[in-house]
Chains A and B, each alone.
Chain A
């Protein structure tokens, strides 16, 4: 069965009308992922974009055909662990899934996620990294790229500023927890994403973690029709590579036929428009050294 048949066959689990931004690739991600996960899923959506657009619903209605709820920003993994423990206790199989932003995963919720990973709680944790707290007005997070404009690391009237600190390499942090399955995904690579969701669903001996790199149209200043193109550029420039870590073994999933300069990726985003050549060169160097590190890890076998 090809990817088109597979996706067309599955029922849409999320409400057809949610107030995500026009062209939002996080909306694309959650719809795709939920088609694969299916109805036997309990979905946790912490405060953030997907919660804000109505995936958890409003008043007495829901945004999902599956059970869905709002955990707190800082306890997503722990609440899911508790839910999963109940179903293990009664011997029932259920997909227990988080769809959480970088704020709830790499910042406020990191402790709970790290604890759940270490304990081997059998949950599927999907983190969508749009590099900031986008739902509340694009505030910076630990995974915001260095130099990026955010509402809490703004650019001065003179044209300099942006976040001073480097981007936290969050998928690597999760990989170093030695969980059974860690994989990075991208909305421009749907078949790869679907394959990874299926692999993650099949994990039975610990936490499965999927990291999706989602360029945020409204927060980064990207044209809506370039939503997928900019995401693809992130992969083709090695800025957000696609790789898997299966029981500690690193595997590169995609090598661009022709690597493009990071500058090309940066040019899609207004949030980088104030960067000078030196700052862009710095980003290129960082990307190159991280890519090198990744290749070394993949070679270790």
Chain B
């Protein structure tokens, strides 16, 4: 029987991971992820999990230990945030190109400089092309559920790619919500035992792992890697349905649409700010605007087709990003969505918006302002310059 508990995001992540019975866990504490490590070591001390734990001395080692264990055949879990993710970039890239089904929770935190601790997906978004699957979640229930889904997705024989489950630091990690925790038996039924066949360091079946490789072979491995992502595109939606069937909760798969069927404009958000966006959409609709909301969940593989389907035929769309794509001057997911709209829908006015950086609140007023900017674009028929929501701006 599932249990209803009050859990903060970090506890939800630790609980989700524990339910998946990882064989080896190695993580290094970093704000705002630290409680995840603490909870997991407490579970182990209390005999609630049987995972072998390693208290490593940096994130470089955390990802390295977990990669080594996964190469030997373990199911593995780790977690980190911003600076830690940056520090582990070397083995992080390798985890995906060696097709290791590692699941890592990233407690999204703004990157230094300036000196900061607070929430934002800049950290994980900056490494989105390192080959991992990345899913960004909105609330604590989704954290727990997505971690379970992540293992199932990662270990699928057609995918075999590591997965990042990303959630906003402090907004989710340190905030308590009602979370329904599934029972162990249900999770065991959803998540079969992991047995690696494609790569293994085992004296019983000797092979060299990662020998020096010629370009023509490297090209093939890259191509197959992209195919893993293609398979994930389908599987993420399929698994969402299967999960809904078994546990009664659905998140839409690659993206979720809210009030979007009859919309004439679309607001796009990701992560915890989606909660405020939903409120703003309800408010705007009450005032007569037919705005729809698109919540981006998967950034890799990028759900191009589903994004196009959600936005095509509308009169404008706007993306509120909690990140910056330096050199473009817009947010990062805005660029991804804009790219997807090339072709069918390329002439739809697009409004890039940036808000909530460095842990600043994205309030309902900001979201209403965002919707106003989108409707400005509807009227003018033109795309906008980037709107920085937390700064003073003029509305024409």
Contacts and interface: CB of A to CB of B under 8 A. Distances in A.
B208 A67 contact: yes
Given A62-B208, A67-B207, A67-B209, A115 B52 contact: no
B60 A81 contact: no
Contacts of B211: 56-63, 70
B210 A70 contact: yes
B304 interface: no
Interface in B202-241: 202-203, 205-214, 217
B57 interface: yes
B57 A39 contact: no
Instruction: Output the residue of B24, B65, B207, B212 with the most chain A CB within 10 A.
Output: B65
Interface string A106-117: 000001101100
Interface string B37-76: 0000000000000011011111011001111111111101
B60 A111 contact: yes
A127 to B, nearest CB: 18
Given A56-B210, A86-B23, A86-B73, A66 B56 contact: no
A295 interface: no
Contact of B60 (A70, A112, A114): A112
Contact of A79 (B58, B67, B206): B67
Contacts of A75: 60-61, 64, 90-91
B6 interface: no
Contacts of A39: 203, 206
B55 A119 contact: yes
Interface residues of B, number: 42
Instruction: Output the residue of A40, A57, A69, A72 with the most chain B CB within 10 A.
Output: A69
A68 B208 contact: yes
Contact of A40 (B76, B203, B205): B203
Given A86-B23, A115-B57, A69 B201 contact: yes
B174 interface: no
A85 B69 CA distance: 7
Contacts of B91: 72, 75, 79
B52 A89 contact: yes
B290 interface: no
A32 interface: no
A68 B200 CA distance: 10
B357 interface: no
B209 A87 contact: no
Contacts of A86: 23-24, 52, 68-69, 72-74
A118 B214 contact: no
A39 B378 CA distance: 70
A65 B214 CA distance: 22
Nearest to B53: A85
B314 interface: no
B206 A66 contact: yes
A63 B54 contact: no
B206 to A, nearest CB: 5
Given A56-B210, A61-B208, A69-B208, A80 B68 contact: yes
B236 to A, nearest CB: 28
A42 to B, nearest CB: 5
B212 A58 contact: yes
B209 A79 contact: no
Contacts of B201: 42, 67, 69, 83
Interface in A187-214: none
B26 interface: yes
A79 B68 contact: yes
A57 B57 contact: no
A39 B204 CA distance: 9
B203 to A, nearest CB: 5
A57 B203 contact: no
Contact of A65 (B23, B54, B206): B206
Interface in A19-65: 39-42, 51, 56-65
B65 A81 contact: yes
Nearest to A13: B206
A51 B74 CA distance: 26
Contact of B57 (A66, A83, A88, A114): A114
B202 A82 contact: no
A119 B58 CA distance: 13
Contacts of A78: 56, 60-61, 64-65, 68
Contacts of A180: none
Given A67-B202, A79-B65, A86-B24, A56 B74 contact: no
B103 to A, nearest CB: 15
B94 interface: yes
Contacts of B51: 89
A72 B213 CA distance: 15
Nearest to A115: B57
A6 B71 CA distance: 33
B162 to A, nearest CB: 14
A260 interface: no
Interface in A221-273: none
A117 to B, nearest CB: 10
Interface of B: 23-24, 26, 51-52, 54-58, 60-61, 64-74, 76, 90-91, 94, 200-203, 205-214, 217
22 contacts: A39-B203, A42-B203, A56-B211, A59-B212, A59-B214, A61-B211, A66-B206, A67-B206, A67-B207, A69-B210, A71-B64, A72-B64, A79-B71, A82-B66, A82-B70, A86-B69, A90-B23, A111-B61, A112-B57, A115-B61, A119-B56, A121-B54
8 smallest A-B Cβ distances: which pairs?
A: A82-B68, A62-B208, A115-B57, A78-B64, A86-B72, A69-B209, A57-B211, A82-B65
Interface of A: 39-42, 51, 56-72, 74-75, 78-90, 94, 111-112, 114-115, 118-119, 121
